[in-house]
Amino acid sequence: MNCYVTAETAPGETRAALTPASAAELIKLGLTVRARSGLGTAAHYADADYTKAGVILTEDHAAALADADIVLRVRKPPAEDIARMKRGALHLSFLDPFNEPALLAAFAAAGVTAVSLEMIPRTTLAQKMDALSSQSSLAGYSAVIEAAQRLRMVLPMMMTPAGTILPARVFVVGVGVAGLQAIATAKRLGARVEAFDTRPGVEEQVKSLGAKFVKIELGATGQTAGGYAQALTPEQIAKQQAGMAKICAQADIVITTAKVFGRPAPRLLTQAMLDGMKPGSVVVDLAVESGGNVASSRPGEDVVTPHGVTIVGHHCIEGTVSHHATQVLAANFAAWLVHFWDVKTKTLRLDSPDEILRGCLLTRGGVVVHPQFQKAEGQKG
């Protein structure tokens, strides 16, 4: 079978879906691996190392797509790429399926089997292929580093002959994978860290990292069977904002990571709360791409409020550490293919009643097969 890994075309995307190491794994399975020349350059993986691993580099994108049984890429494809693929071929990438009904329809119309990285269940068995986690973890780290670079302060306490510098105060809102890594990174840099999440059970994780859990009484919250947060009512959001305002006013850095799977991110920091923050403080909105947790955050931009608070709304903050983001992402792709690979027939086993497959397979055989997206596509759910 032929596997083709495209170079990313989205502006600012620095990651790739293949490393020389992951290519070697795929080739060991028996796949012929082609990749677009230069695909790893922005993440510092050299063409020569791909070639050494056995990858066939190509400049002919259209021919490689048309010939591929499996296509790997980080971001969703342009429509013309879907139309060029073979019927029955597999496409594996992030797809943003809740917001892309037309893309799913195009995959179905082309008879392409589309798999969404976002929809891989967050189970122990699927951990190796969990791209949301691998990227979120680096996003949490990068959020602290990006904030620290913009803050005109140091993070640790320093006792100097000229006086004592107090530790910076960091507030992390949303303690999933990204939030936990942000807490750990800020603690390593010596900051005083507080955190809040609506999911029960997070308090212990926050404390185990040496941070303080902020208690805000919201009434019943809860989480889905998949471990995701449930959306709050407008009254609960208002209570949360009131509880957070004082902590934000004292913070030097606020990192927001609050997301509700499949829905727009909750708006948690209002303009009034930003106005109440110290001039020079920095807010990093990791939910900026899914609607934003912070009033006036903008994807891909730093916004400085009239009051001097910097709001960082990076498009893809893990792209600032693209070498490692690519390393783990490529390993996620390889793990997915290894899991579904039949060593005897040297083909993918996509007919099994596998729980992981049921979660992430969106289109197959000319139709949308995932029940969550069938209605959006106009099929019977």
SS3 (DSSP) at 71: strand
The answer to whether residue 199 is catalytic is no
Instruction: Single out the residue of 158, 209, 203 nearest to residue 187, CA to CA.
Output: 209
Q: Binding to ligand NAD by residue 127, rule CB under 6 A?
A: yes
Q: Binding to ligand NAD by residue 185, rule CB under 6 A?
A: no
Which residues are registered as beta bridge partners of 302?
312
Interface region with ligand NAD, contact rule CB under 6 A, candidates 14-22, 25-33, 172-180, 321-329: 172-180
Q: Binding to ligand NAD by residue 82, rule CB under 6 A?
A: no
Site for ligand NAD in 188-217 (CB under 6 A): 196-199
Out of 253, 258, 356, 361, point to the residue binding ligand NAD (CB under 6 A).
258
- Is the Cβ of residue 143 or residue 258 nearer to ligand NAD in the bound state? 258
The answer to whether residue 152 is catalytic is no
Site for ligand NAD in 14-73 (CB under 6 A): none
The answer to whether residue 142 is catalytic is no
- Is the Cβ of residue 156 or residue 227 nearer to ligand NAD in the bound state? 227
Helix (H) or strand (E) holding 93: strand 90-93
3-state helix, strand, coil in the chain (%, to 5): 40, 20, 40
Give me the least distance between CB of 232 and ligand NAD, in Å please. 5
CA dihedral over 67, 69, 71, 77, signed as positive or negative: positive
Do the bridges between strand 169-173 and strand 253-256 make them parallel or antiparallel, or are there none, so unpaired? parallel
Instruction: Single out the residue of 157, 170, 191 nearest to residue 282, CA to CA.
Output: 170
Out of 61, 86, 122, 263, point to the residue binding ligand NAD (CB under 6 A).
122
Q: Binding to ligand NAD by residue 169, rule CB under 6 A?
A: no
Instruction: Single out the residue of 377, 297, 331, 358 nearest to residue 22, CA to CA.
Output: 331
Residues sharing a CB contact under 8 Å with residue 277, sequence separation 6 or more, in sequence order: 248, 249, 251, 254, 283, 307, 309
Query: Which of 49, 228, 263, 374 is an active site residue?
Result: 228
265 to 304: interface string for ligand NAD, x by CB under 6 A: -x-x------------------------------------
Distance CA 87, CA 337 (A): 19
For the chain, how big is the Rg over CA atoms in Å? 22
Q: Binding to ligand NAD by residue 117, rule CB under 6 A?
A: no
The answer to whether residue 141 is catalytic is no
- For 272-318, list the strands marked E by DSSP: 282-285, 301-304, 310-313
Out of 186, 232, 312, 335, point to the residue binding ligand NAD (CB under 6 A).
232
Instruction: Single out the residue of 22, 24, 26 nearest to residue 90, CA to CA.
Output: 26
- Is the Cβ of residue 90 or residue 274 nearer to ligand NAD in the bound state? 274
Out of 227, 365, 371, 378, point to the residue binding ligand NAD (CB under 6 A).
227
Cβ-proximal residue to ligand NAD, closest one: 176
Out of 53, 72, 110, 173, point to the residue binding ligand NAD (CB under 6 A).
173
Known catalytic residues are 122, 127, 130, 133, 228
